[in-house]
Structure 1
Amino acid sequence: MKSHTVRRWSFVHTWSSLICTLFLLMLALTGLPLIFHHEIDHALGDTPAYRDMPAGTPHLNLQRLVEAAEAYRPGEVMQYFGWDEDEPDGVMAITAATAGTEPNLSHTFALDARTGEALPMPSANGGFMMVMLRLHVDLYAELPGKLLLAFMGLLFVVAIVSGTVLYAPFMRKLGFASVRVDKSPRTRWLDLHNLIGIVTLTWVLVVGITGVISACADLLISSWRNDALVSMIAPYRDAPPLTGRAPADELVTIAKAATPGMTPDFIAFPGTRFSSEHHYAVFMKGSTHLTSHLWTPVLIDARTLQITAVIARPWYMDALAMSQPLHFGDYGGLPMKILWAALDVLTIIVLGSGLYLWWVKRRARRASAQVTA
């Protein structure tokens, strides 16, 4: 590689890395506990404590559970209702002052599906894990924070690609995985920085790209609403406001009939950003480990319970649905989480060593300039 080309790539790598490194260090540090959020919640006693009851105790119907949720939070309305993957007798409810209240002002809790008893979920509404999540997702700045982190993620991808380009000629001079332990600390750290960087290359690319996609979630959901959803609810554009809705009892049965072989994941109630002012939206998912992250929304008229549409998933919503669990290593159970955590720690070392190398080089240049002067 020609020297001027190396200088260009080195410039790109240095400044793309420097601009995003502090943000990436924050994301790596906050992401570490988020990888184990289920395990941490359990250890802290923040998981719902379902009572022991005889096996096979029947569940209340859906409308009874909705009423129990709204009774637990007087003055609030249902936004979303979902099923707990880890507890067959548990369901999740999200309520807020209005159906359109933004997510950070909503309240999440569990319900015992057999009794309708409400069970608090402290970590879903505040505390250490919520602080980690908000810092990781939006820096407590909502959409501007998400877009800033998306931009930092793009810079991170540029830094990874430029670093790989620079490492190619470096490998021709030294054997792979060589660390020159007999050289100066800066040289040893440079070798370690390059080695760990190339070993974690695929993982950091995956996490970086999925992080950018996840950070753009609000924009993708808005695009979905303005594209697929708006066209489906066009006949309701001039309909009078919904003054009452049909009971939710049959929603799952109706949605299952429209999507054979799929199971319900969550229900968006009328007025939320995943539905319309006149519809329930039942989000169905596949039965395999992969397709369980892919949603097919079934729009059901909230007054008549007639199916309005089964909405085809646009590619960008599939990308969003699959990127979020992949970002945190939620596809492969505890072994994959441990692998993700180890790679996260190695990434922290790469980021920290990059800052160290830049600072040492900068200090050496200053010293050289002073001697010359």
Structure 2
Amino acid sequence: MASDTQAAPAPKKKTGFVAQMLSGHSAVGLAVGALMYILCLSGTLMVFHEEFERWEQPQVPEFATVTPEAAGRAADAGLARASDVPHHFYIGVPTDGMPRLGISLDGEEGWYADADGTLGTPIHHPWAEFLEGLHYYLHLPTVLGLTVVGILGAMLVGLVISGLLAHPRIFRDAFAMRIRGNQQLAQADIHNRLSVWGAPFHLLVALTGAGIGLASVLSYFVANSYLDGDIEAFYEPVFGSDPAEDITPAPVFNITAALDNFRAEHGDLQPWYVIMHEPGTVGQSGYILARHPARLIYGENYYFGPDGTITGKLGHSDGPAGQQVVASAYTVHFGSFGGLPVKLIYGVLGLAISIVSATGVNIWLIKRREKGRAMPRLERAWAATIWGTPLALAVCFTLPTVTAVEGTLLNAIFWLVLLGLVSLSAVVTDRAAFARFLRSAAGLMIIFGVLVKWAAHFGAVNSPAAIGVNVVLLATAAVLLWQGWPVRRVQKPVPSAAE
């Protein structure tokens, strides 16, 4: 007997120009998702930029405090090495996160010093600088990069809010996890649960990231439209300004006395940097950037005069509310308050938002496949992006140790590796096996990078942070290798798009 119900007709396939446009539209969407994922993952790593800097040069002496006299000697030695008057001169004094004494000329050339102020190892952080350029600018030219990153941050704000509003039961089902069986449900539950648990963090990080990126873009256009291109004038109400330039030679301000006076007047605060503008000239100025315990501001500027007398402060700690909010944006965005415990929390939550970014695209690809509109080429490209990014990152933190590759070339290698893997995905036939290969390759590359770094500094490791970073990297490698182990499981109804 014939059935009263008829099978639903299969969806018609688009052909010709329409199909090409739909494919191009989907590819653009996937590219935006890939940039969002890279931004989230690199931001998670950026939380630990101080630890990475200590890992890159583990042989540098570390100490909790330094005397003002030692800081003064390091400053004098650094200025003596300058071929010209530096526009800005930085003396980094030991802090909890960076227990090292270092000096830098315009942020370009610098040296670490030992506890008595004698200069030693040149400052060299190619991996940390690579990571900073990736997260701040996606390695694009400054204004363009900030624009793209700011837009992605604004999009993330919209995604967080719309995602919460689009799921009325999302809080009631906050602990529902169906990770076995149907992969669409598993991906959706992982996506929704991590979104709910981390919603306040995700929103806060997205808002501050969008604000930092778009404010920088706004400053560029306002400065060029109304301030004769003077970007510093745009930021002056919040960050202050340098005095008029006068390079007539003059004695350098007394840095030793400035630190002595600061500690006598503000013993409860932690000096972070001594920063001088045009040192050794009539137009020089200087201030001590100090951290305030139990405050979210990144620090307060305490100005000092020629004899080291503290003459005033900028106002980040007690100025207008807007100024205090702006001064807190960087600290909140990167979790640089509360020490290592807060960083670890940010690391976990940052990893969660990276997974949310990945599973969001997974769900979209799986739904297309279930509706008979599968896009296997894009599924393979997405798998290459998800697992190729850790592999490309591992290549880039290994290369500076074994070669002289750094700077723009290192940036290019990251994108070339990732582009090459995405291109390779177009010719592979087994998406799951390809994903497992990439996970295993990333794990092996991380182990190789750790071993190379250990061999390069064998017997000369003075930084506990370097040891901690190695432990975390090896643990990450173990997880990736375990995930990449070629064990055949029971066939699942619908495999994950990025499996």
Give TM-score, length-normalised by structure 1.
0.70
Question: What's 1:319 paired with?
Answer: 325
1:324 to partner: Cα distance = 2.5
Question: What's 2:75 paired with?
Answer: 66
Change (3 A) 1:223 1:297: farther
Shifted more, 128-137 versus 139-148: the winner is 139-148
Which of 189, 192, 208 aligns to 2:190? It is 192
Contact 2:300 2:315 in 1 (8 A): no
1:359 to partner: Cα distance = 2.0
Question: What's 2:91 paired with?
Answer: 81
Which of 120, 123, 135 aligns to 1:121? It is 123
Contact 1:178 1:191 in 2 (8 A): yes
Distance 1:57 1:156 in 2: 43
Which of 263, 269, 273 aligns to 1:266? It is 273
Distance 1:57 1:179 in 2: 52
How big is each residue's C-alpha offset from its partner over 1:201-249, in whole Å with a ceiling of 9 and x where there is no partner? 112112222323443575678356443677x87xx76xx8240233222
Change (3 A) 1:262 1:341: closer
Question: What's 2:251 paired with?
Answer: 246
Change (3 A) 1:147 1:278: farther
Contact 2:297 2:328 in 1 (8 A): no
Distance 2:251 2:329 in 1: 35
1:25 to partner: Cα distance = 0.9
1:265 to partner: Cα distance = 3.0
Q: Give the AA of the match of 2:197.
A: V
Shifted more, 327-336 versus 191-200: the winner is 327-336
Distance 1:181 1:241 in 2: 67
- Secondary structure of 1:60's counterpart equals helix
Contact 1:69 1:118 in 2 (8 A): no
Distance 1:88 1:336 in 2: 16
Q: Give the AA of the match of 2:251.
A: A
- Secondary structure of 1:293's counterpart equals coil
Q: Give the AA of the match of 1:190.
A: A
Question: What's 1:9 paired with?
Answer: none
Seq. identity, %:
18
Change (3 A) 1:107 1:316: farther
1:190 to partner: Cα distance = 1.8
Contact 1:48 1:120 in 2 (8 A): no
Map 1:322-341 onto structure 2 (within 5 A).
322-341=328-347
Q: Is 2:355 the counterpart of 1:352?
A: no
- Secondary structure of 1:195's counterpart equals helix
1:309 to partner: Cα distance = 5.4
Question: What's 1:111 paired with?
Answer: 113
Question: What's 1:155 paired with?
Answer: 155
Question: What's 1:133 paired with?
Answer: 132
1:160 to partner: Cα distance = 0.1
Change (3 A) 1:292 1:114: farther
Distance 1:266 1:286 in 2: 10
1:158 to partner: Cα distance = 0.8
Distance 1:116 1:307 in 2: 26
Distance 1:308 1:59 in 2: 18
How big is each residue's C-alpha offset from its partner over 1:256-307, in whole Å with a ceiling of 9 and x where there is no partner? 68878655432332259xxx9824131343552436733134264x6x8787
Distance 2:181 2:261 in 1: 70
Map 1:11-26 onto structure 2 (within 5 A).
20-26=32-38
Distance 1:66 1:181 in 2: 58
Change (3 A) 1:255 1:162: same
Map 1:168-187 onto structure 2 (within 5 A).
168=168, 170-171=169-170, 175-180=173-178, 184-187=182-185
Which of 237, 262, 286 aligns to 1:281? It is 286
Distance 2:157 2:99 in 1: 42
Which of 201, 204, 207 aligns to 2:202? It is 204
Contact 2:258 2:308 in 1 (8 A): yes
Shifted more, 348-357 versus 338-347: the winner is 338-347
Question: What's 1:35 paired with?
Answer: 47
Q: Tell me, which stretches of 5 or more residues in structure 1 are unaligned?
A: 1-13, 97-102, 369-373
Contact 1:59 1:89 in 2 (8 A): no
Distance 1:203 1:309 in 2: 35
Contact 2:179 2:186 in 1 (8 A): yes
Give TM-score, length-normalised by structure 2.
0.55
Contact 1:91 1:112 in 2 (8 A): yes
Name the Cα RMSD after superposition.
Answer: 4.1
Change (3 A) 1:196 1:90: closer
1:67 to partner: Cα distance = 2.3
Question: What's 2:104 paired with?
Answer: 94
Question: What's 2:437 paired with?
Answer: none
